């Protein structure tokens, strides 16, 4: 244990952290899962979705951006927090058009998996907005079905920070804020199938589609077919 490290607790379990680590990083290192959608290993933190919200010594904080601190008392798996997280996830569903049974991300989708973990059930408490959104299939190898985009920004950070390209960006404001491509359509960007931004790890849902791969993984072998997201040390 390095001299600088300190301890704090998550749901009563003592966790060791080093200065600069976020609550989530320390939790991951300790094998404790905190739900998340916009945060993913290898990309800088954004703190956008709020699904990772915890109580840190009584105050709500996004675990993916909030630094750990000595003697912090963190609540994570509480009914109150999970109910709030469930409402957030439900709103993400209702803001887009999610037809899981016909979606190629089904079984590999973090949003769907989070809904299962948080036990989201119908009937929903929020109305569906049923937006009218286009499919951009102009690129030979990649398609975007923005009906399923949850604006997590992971593709934006991956493209800008890892690929050095800036293919994706936010447009619009408020409820209308959306992720769009930096060009008239995807074919008019320099997006490439080998970009990190279009790899399977980046888009948590079925918005960024690698063409002609859909449904090739049989049911039973998909990422979340055998357990809840976050279980079995799954803390990417």
Partner 1 sequence: MDKPRILEIDPVTRVEGHGKVTVHLDRQGNVNEARLHIVEFRGFERFIQGRLLWEVPVIVQRLCGICPVSHHLCAAKAMDRIVGVDQLTPTAEKMRRLMHYGQVMQSHVLHFFHLSAPDILFGFGSPAEKRNVFEIIRQNPELGHRAVLMRKYGQEIIEATAGKKIHGTGAIPGGINRNLSTERRDQFLAQIDEMQDWALEALALARDYCLREKDFIAKFGGQPSNYMSLVRPGDGALDLYDGNLRMLDARGEAIFDQVDDSRYHEYLTEDVRRWSYMKFPYINSIGADDGWYRVGPLARMNTADLIDTPLAAKAHEDLHAAFDTPLIHGVLDNHWARMIEVVHCVEKIRELLNDPDLQGTDLVVKGERRHEGVGVIEAPRGNLIHHYKVDENDQVTFCNLIVSTTHNNEAMNRSIRDVANKHISGQEVITEGMMNHLEVAIRAYDPCLSCATHALGQMPLKVELFDSNDVLIDSALQSP
Among 64, 103, 158, 207, binds ligand FES (CB under 6 A): 64
**Residue 230 binds ligand SF4, judged by CB under 6 A:** no
Shortest distance, CB of residue 149 to ligand FES, whole angstroms? Answer: 15
Which of ligand FES, partner 1, ligand SF4, none binds 1 (CB below 5-8 Å, type-dependent)?
none
C-alpha to C-alpha distance for 230 and 32, rounded to whole angstroms: 9
Q: Where are the alpha helices (DSSP H) in 23-153?
A: 23-29, 79-95, 110-117
Largest Cα span, the chain: 55
Indicate the residue among 74 and 191 with the shorter CB distance to ligand SF4.
191
The owner of tokens 């994706």 is 168
Helices (H) and strands (E) counted in the chain, each on its own, are: 4, 10
Which 3 state secondary structure label does DSSP give 161?
helix
Task: Give yes or no for a contact between 205 and 89, defined as CB atoms under 8 angstroms apart.
Answer: no
**Residue 211 binds partner 1, judged by CB under 8 A:** yes
**Residue 52 binds ligand FES, judged by CB under 6 A:** yes
Site residues for ligand SF4 per CB under 6 A: 98-100, 103, 105-106, 109, 111-112, 148-155, 168, 179, 202-208
Site residues for ligand FES per CB under 6 A: 36-39, 47-52, 62, 64
């Amino acid at each position: 244990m390095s001299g600088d490290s300190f301890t704090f607790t998550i749901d009563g379990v003592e966790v060791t952290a080093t200065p600069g680590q976020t609550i989530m990083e320390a939790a991951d290192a300790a094998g404790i899962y905190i739900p998340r959608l916009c945060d993913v290993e290898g990309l800088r933190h954004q703190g956008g979705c709020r699904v990772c919200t915890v109580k840190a010594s009584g105050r709500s904080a996004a675990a993916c951006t909030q630094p750990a601190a000595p003697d912090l008392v963190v609540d994570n798996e509480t009914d109150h927090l999970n109910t709030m997280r469930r409402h957030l996830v439900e709103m993400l569903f209702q803001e887009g058009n999610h037809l899981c049974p016909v979606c190629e991300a089904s079984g590999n989708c973090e949003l769907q998996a989070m809904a299962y973990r948080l036990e989201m059930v119908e009937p929903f408490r929020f109305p569906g907005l049923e937006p009218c959104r286009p499919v951009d299939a102009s690129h030979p190898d990649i398609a975007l079905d923005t009906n399923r985009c949850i604006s997590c920004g992971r593709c934006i950070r991956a493209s800008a920070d890892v690929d050095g390209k800036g293919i994706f960006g936010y447009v619009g404001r408020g409820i209308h804020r959306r992720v769009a491509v930096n060009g008239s359509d995807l074919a008019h960007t320099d997006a490439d199938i080998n970009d990190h931004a279009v790899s399977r790890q980046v888009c948590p849902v079925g918005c960024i589609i690698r063409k002609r791969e859909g449904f090739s993984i049989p049911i039973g072998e998909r990422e979340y077919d055998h357990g809840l997201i976050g279980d079995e040390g799954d803390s990417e």
